[in-house]
Amino acid sequence: MSGRGRTSPLSPGGYATCFAGIVWREALRFFSQRGRFLSALVRPLVWLFIFAAGFRSVLGVSIIPPYETYVLYEVYVTPGLVAMIQLFNGLQSSLSMVYDREVGAMRILLVSPYPRWFLLSAKLLAGVFTSILQVYAFLLVAYFWEVEAPVMGYLTLLPVLVVTGLMFGAMGLLLSSLFRQLENFASVMNFVIFPMFFASSALYPLWRIQEASPLLYEICRFNPFTYAVEAIRFALYARFDGTSLAVVTGVAVAFLILSLFAYNPSKGLIARRGTPAMAD
């Protein structure tokens, strides 16, 4: 058997097949792990049903764009919870990447003949796809809890969710390259998720935060999560917030470039250190 004469597998159809395979595998894993889907759904619903309902009488939200009237606190907090779903999903995907690296499944992905940037991006997009499923499942439940957006808003939200999902996924991918073991990475998740969520406009409008603490306001302004929340908030009302989208896109691209560098076979962190199973 001579291997010399065969043609390269990298046809456009081959790329499409490879991409579809990676998305399919992520979807299979997602649906086989029902607990993961349920917890992804229950977490924001708890915030919506308990936290937001409790604060409804305490926190009034004045008329701020994109809202054209006073809104219930549940309505205000929903875009933040959507972003939280994607943040959790992004880090969950990265957690599974660290796990895959530990158990070796990641190696099977990386020895595919397709370029590494393509494989990692496809895996990232597959994670975004599952996060979008979770978001719409959450919005469906929220709809029956008086959180209604214009019908067009549910459509205009979709492209924005792709960008915000990519940002969180790329951030997780970069983080996953920094950790060799699952235990270390799991503990880091808490240090990332909660500060990002609380120091943002997810729970309170920025003007209110500014009144309470100028320092916290500045932190919120430099937190990319704030811009993801605002991009989602505007898109849900069929409006586009250019600044937020630009920041989210820029941060997504930056994280993606850094994570691709980290996974680069000749320069990246993985190359310099190897992984535990590659040490022999």
Interface with another protein (CB under 8 A): 1-4, 6, 8-11, 13-15, 17-18, 20-22, 24-25, 28-29, 32-33, 103-105, 107-115, 119, 265-266, 268, 270-274, 277-280
Q: Which is nearer to another protein, 42 or 103 (CB)?
A: 103
Q: How far is the CB of 9 from another protein (least distance, A)?
A: 4
Q: How far is the CB of 127 from another protein (least distance, A)?
A: 16
**Angle, CA 222 vertex, CA 220 and CA 228 arms, to 5°:** 75
Q: Is the peptide bond before 79 cis (omega within 30 degrees of 0)?
A: no
Q: Which is nearer to another protein, 16 or 46 (CB)?
A: 16
Query: CA 115 to CA 122: how far, in whole Å?
Result: 11
Q: How far is the CB of 150 from another protein (least distance, A)?
A: 39
Q: Which is nearer to another protein, 48 or 119 (CB)?
A: 119
Q: Which is nearer to another protein, 21 or 153 (CB)?
A: 21
Q: How far is the CB of 80 from another protein (least distance, A)?
A: 32
Q: Which is nearer to another protein, 212 or 271 (CB)?
A: 271
Q: What is the CA radius of gyration of the chain?
A: 20
Q: What's the 3-state SS for 156-220?
A: HHHHHHHHHHHHHHHHHHHHHHHCCCHHHHHHHHHHHHHHHHHCCCCCCCHHHHHHHCHHHHHHH
Q: How far is the CB of 275 from another protein (least distance, A)?
A: 8
Q: Which is nearer to another protein, 56 or 180 (CB)?
A: 180
Query: CA 89 to CA 170: how far, in whole Å?
Result: 11
Q: How far is the CB of 135 from another protein (least distance, A)?
A: 23
Query: CA 102 to CA 94: how far, in whole Å?
Result: 12
Q: How far is the CB of 119 from another protein (least distance, A)?
A: 8
Contacts for 119 with CB less than 8 Å, ≥ 6 apart: 18, 22, 109, 110, 112
Q: How far is the CB of 30 from another protein (least distance, A)?
A: 10
Contacts for 263 with CB less than 8 Å, ≥ 6 apart: 110, 116, 120, 173, 177, 270
Q: Which is nearer to another protein, 19 or 225 (CB)?
A: 19
Q: Which is nearer to another protein, 84 or 260 (CB)?
A: 260
Query: CA 33 to CA 213: how far, in whole Å?
Result: 42
Query: CA 86 to CA 91: how far, in whole Å?
Result: 9
C-alpha distance across the termini of the chain, in Å: 30
> What's phi and psi for 177, nearest 5 deg?
-75, -20
